Amino acid sequence: MTNRNSAGSKHELAGQESSLLASAPVRRGAVAVLLRSALLVLAIMSLVGCVRGPTHRETELQIRGLQLYLALLDEFKTERGEGIPASGENQIDAILTRSIPPGTPFQDAVTILTAAHFRMGDLESVSNPDNNGDQTERFVIKGDLKLLSIFILGGTSAYVTLDIDRLNREPTIVKRAAGVMRSVYL
């Protein structure tokens, strides 16, 4: 049986005083304050993690992507300025190799191409016959970039193909970056 003294905050349980029951509201309040403090610290840590700026490596890759984009625009302007026929292809392997040399980590190459405004496709397995007639399998990812679009009449696009190491959950390196700038006008 529990009796409550009106004069104090002590409780009696079967005739014995219990200070544990009397201090329960105080302990609950302390636990609530600690819980709120811990949640506040976690929220601040999460926000700091989300707000942090890009790392040096991420910034470098973004800059390389923008340099690639500018190099492609310069090539496009040169092509148009020199009167190269309106329809045709121009190899851009040298431009791509400067930005994505062989051995570049695959994710870095995708970051560079995305920063250069390329729209990336899905990974594909491509089989090609070699000089002996044997089939060799290559793993590629393709991307494209519209440089000029003239409604239905055509336009100029840059296409890139990344030859990558074996196809697994995540490819790791780029073996070769190749591409063409293609103009099609009707």
Q: Is the pLDDT of residue 175 over 70?
A: yes
Question: Given its phi and psi angles, is residue 83 left (phi above 0), alpha (psi -120 to 50 degrees) or beta?
Answer: left
> For 74-99, what is the mean pLDDT?
75
Q: Is the pTM of this model over 0.75?
A: no
DSSP SS3 for 118: coil
Residue 142 — very low, low, confident or very high, per pLDDT cuts 50/70/90?
confident
pLDDT band, residue 141 (cuts 50/70/90): confident
**pLDDT for residue 115 is more than 80:** yes
Question: What's the pLDDT at 102?
Answer: 92
Dist. CA 143–CA 29, nearest whole Å = 59
Residue 153 pLDDT class (50, 70, 90 cuts): low
Structure-token pair, residue 33: 């304050």
pLDDT of residue 152: 67
Q: What is the mean pLDDT of the chain?
A: 75
Q: How far is the C-alpha of 58 from the C-alpha of 77, rounded, in Å?
A: 29
- In this prediction, residue 98 carries a pLDDT of 92
Residue 101 pLDDT > 90: yes
Closest by alpha carbon to 163, among 182, 147, 131, 139?
Answer: 139
Q: Per residue in 20-40, pLDDT tens?
A: 545 555 566 677 777 777 777
The residue-averaged pLDDT of 71-77 equals 84
Q: What is the number of H-type helices and E-type strands within the chain?
A: 5, 8
